[in-house]
Structure 1
């Protein structure tokens, strides 16, 4: 046995209990197991999938929401995991990362698409923060570099005033590099799914000069009374037809639980027409022209109570689960082909960036 083979075996033996613990913790959220499977069988099949697709770095959630337990290795390779998507996009999107990853920088660069009030807390005095909170009464707070809804929470003026030490709380927000935003709400059509959260549209676009195309889209809605719509925060997502703006699938969560209607409100997903869809696409097209380095972007757009279209953020490395999992169709080939068609070989971008 070679030392490389021996090291590979040792690494996998050491990783086994950690993987098993994570997988079993994840499985607690799965309401219905696939036919013919128990948790142990699924876990060992998941290990097999990881061995057969080492380049994919399949997460337990991707394994379940893509239905890999029922697919051959060839069929599994048609899907694009988050790790693969990031790897494919990185050469093309490296230049856009500084403008999109920082929420404060994003807000400064896309002001004509943003109507909500915002404040970067570390740059504001305690008095300025209090004035901002008093003006909007309810605000959304999120770490400047967070993703997946991690660290997000809502704060009212009354809640802040009731803190044992409001100044200490403000200092913690500064230390956590929090961004404060006016808490906005969805239009009645999208709020109907889950009124507690801002329910947003994810629109994945390609642009090169005058060429522009919507690769795919989806709706994300909250669940369980939480304020976030992100799947990692318990939300539900479904796919939208880019041409018509209609929802074409049932809802799905990150535990592969499927929903014909929203479990809290009973509102059906499939067949709903997204309001002002053509205008949403046009907004994303215009936003993609704002900086020359923007190539592939996952835009998050809200339609507010008064019908205003609001750009929430842009993602330089958007995941593709929303355009694969609900309808169970992989996009690896289409996505990688479009990257080459729009931008050519990635090496030219790597050379420019390292020069």
Structure 2
């Protein structure tokens, strides 16, 4: 074990418990468990305290999923599906990983005017803008400037890189008299387009989502979403876990990797009492104990319906907004969803359920191949 690894382990051991109300294991036991974890899984368990594994009443350490094994198995099963009669496996993760492709599937399943997703209004592809809904015609610079002028001052446009993850490659531009204001800088349409072109990436452009008042109250500067995890074992499709995510004050995204907060919810929309921050490794009792997420049960059922249309994928983490009118709106689908949100709830160790569902799916896939 090198010095950097030892230091990372000491930082976890030296940190105070996030559960001061519960008896804590002594340092010797915690260190022994941390070292055993490293030997087994080749990673420092930086979530040890966040998960509450330091509590004297915690489930056995092996009940928690390590990030490396989980990530490897999650991708392997999501990216290899063999249709009946085929000796070759196909990778369906592109459906969720490419936002433009995912939107095409949503359009096919539900229609552009369904209100269950936010259709893009333009695409930035190969250094040019293409307006959606008009034969995907290329917009000359002057046309893009006119496109921006259609929006009133104060309105917002959201630019998303099609392969962006973890809340990165998201740009929210506020319209100001035909210009775009990004991170406090005012840019002409030409200058803004040149900035995007410099990245050499593909972006979709969407109207800004106006969320329900309950969701906005968590943090008004970000669209705060539900992360709903579903499984499809081949025989059944169901919701396993859900959380509400909220951005750090002043931030534009709610992602946990961008200092966002989260707490688990049930199908009635009731919040767990604890609010967690993955980046900062903190926990506190939040002030929204009597709040209920609107349309939570509807959102759960919506995610089951979504996953039922993509049975090739084993597990998906869906990002769902709740609109101003109280309706669920799918933002993204994540086949590479993060397990730490699931495991942060007190005592909620995910390995037993994960291995059980994985075995069900593998048995189903094997039966298809044999047929």
User: Shorter-chain TM-score: what band?
Assistant: 0.7 to 0.9
Aligned counterparts of 1:42 and 1:232: Cα–Cα separation in 2: 30
- Structure with the bigger percentage of helix: 1
Question: What is the SS of the residue equivalent to 1:121?
Answer: strand
Question: What is the SS of the residue equivalent to 1:160?
Answer: strand
Q: Structure 1 pair 20/177, CA: closer, same or farther in 2 (3 Å)? A: farther
Q: Structure 1 pair 345/209, CA: closer, same or farther in 2 (3 Å)? A: closer
Aligned counterparts of 1:227 and 1:295: Cα–Cα separation in 2: 30
Aligned counterparts of 2:311 and 2:238: Cα–Cα separation in 1: 16
Number of positions where the alignment pairs a residue of Structure 1 with one of Structure 2: 325
Q: Structure 1 pair 98/164, CA: closer, same or farther in 2 (3 Å)? A: closer
Aligned counterparts of 1:118 and 1:41: Cα–Cα separation in 2: 58
1:342: how far off?
4.1
1:293-312 matches, cutoff 5 A: 293-312=312-331
Structure 1 position 314 matched with structure 2 position 337: no
Structure 1 equivalent of residue 228 of structure 2: 203
Question: What is the SS of the residue equivalent to 1:237?
Answer: strand
**Equivalent of 2:212 in 187, 191, 201:** 187
Q: Structure 1 pair 344/85, CA: closer, same or farther in 2 (3 Å)? A: same
Structure 2 equivalent of residue 98 of structure 1: 94
Aligned counterparts of 2:9 and 2:171: Cα–Cα separation in 1: 26
Q: Structure 1 pair 286/345, CA: closer, same or farther in 2 (3 Å)? A: closer
Offset from partner CA, 1:170-191 (integer Å, 9 cap, x none) = 1331323333221113201111
Offset from partner CA, 1:199-220 (integer Å, 9 cap, x none) = 1011111235562211111110
Structure 1 position 150 matched with structure 2 position 168: yes
- Structure with the bigger percentage of strand: 2
**Equivalent of 2:157 in 120, 135, 139:** 139
Aligned counterparts of 2:354 and 2:165: Cα–Cα separation in 1: 23
Question: What is the SS of the residue equivalent to 2:101?
Answer: helix
Aligned counterparts of 1:258 and 1:73: Cα–Cα separation in 2: 16
Q: Do the aligned partners of 1:20 and 1:43 also contact (CA within 8 Å) in 2?
A: no
Q: Do the aligned partners of 1:133 and 1:139 also contact (CA within 8 Å) in 2?
A: no
Deviating more after overlay: 139-148 vs 170-179? 170-179
Q: What is the TM-score when the length of structure 2 is the normalising length?
A: 0.74
Structure 1 equivalent of residue 117 of structure 2: 114
1:160: how far off?
1.9
1:44: how far off?
7.1
Aligned counterparts of 2:166 and 2:295: Cα–Cα separation in 1: 26
Aligned counterparts of 1:48 and 1:127: Cα–Cα separation in 2: 62
Aligned counterparts of 2:123 and 2:242: Cα–Cα separation in 1: 30
Aligned counterparts of 2:16 and 2:171: Cα–Cα separation in 1: 27
Aligned counterparts of 1:42 and 1:168: Cα–Cα separation in 2: 58
Aligned counterparts of 1:72 and 1:259: Cα–Cα separation in 2: 19
Question: What is the SS of the residue equivalent to 1:99?
Answer: helix
Question: What is the SS of the residue equivalent to 2:63?
Answer: coil
Aligned counterparts of 2:40 and 2:121: Cα–Cα separation in 1: 43
Instruction: Please give the root-mean-square deviation of Cα atoms over the aligned residues, in Å.
Output: 3.7
Q: Do the aligned partners of 1:32 and 1:257 also contact (CA within 8 Å) in 2?
A: no
**Equivalent of 1:77 in 40, 62, 69:** 62
Q: Structure 1 pair 287/128, CA: closer, same or farther in 2 (3 Å)? A: farther
Structure 2: runs of 5 or more not aligned: 80-90, 111-115, 130-138
Structure 1 equivalent of residue 113 of structure 2: none
Aligned counterparts of 1:344 and 1:144: Cα–Cα separation in 2: 34
Structure 1 position 232 matched with structure 2 position 257: yes
Structure 1: runs of 5 or more not aligned: 1-11, 262-266
Structure 1 equivalent of residue 83 of structure 2: none
Aligned counterparts of 2:220 and 2:28: Cα–Cα separation in 1: 39
Q: Do the aligned partners of 2:225 and 2:320 also contact (CA within 8 Å) in 1?
A: yes
Aligned counterparts of 2:121 and 2:295: Cα–Cα separation in 1: 25
1:283: how far off?
1.3
Offset from partner CA, 1:108-161 (integer Å, 9 cap, x none) = 111233134443212524455445544453112232212111232321122627
Aligned counterparts of 1:340 and 1:104: Cα–Cα separation in 2: 32
**Equivalent of 1:172 in 179, 195, 206:** 195
Structure 2 equivalent of residue 252 of structure 1: 276
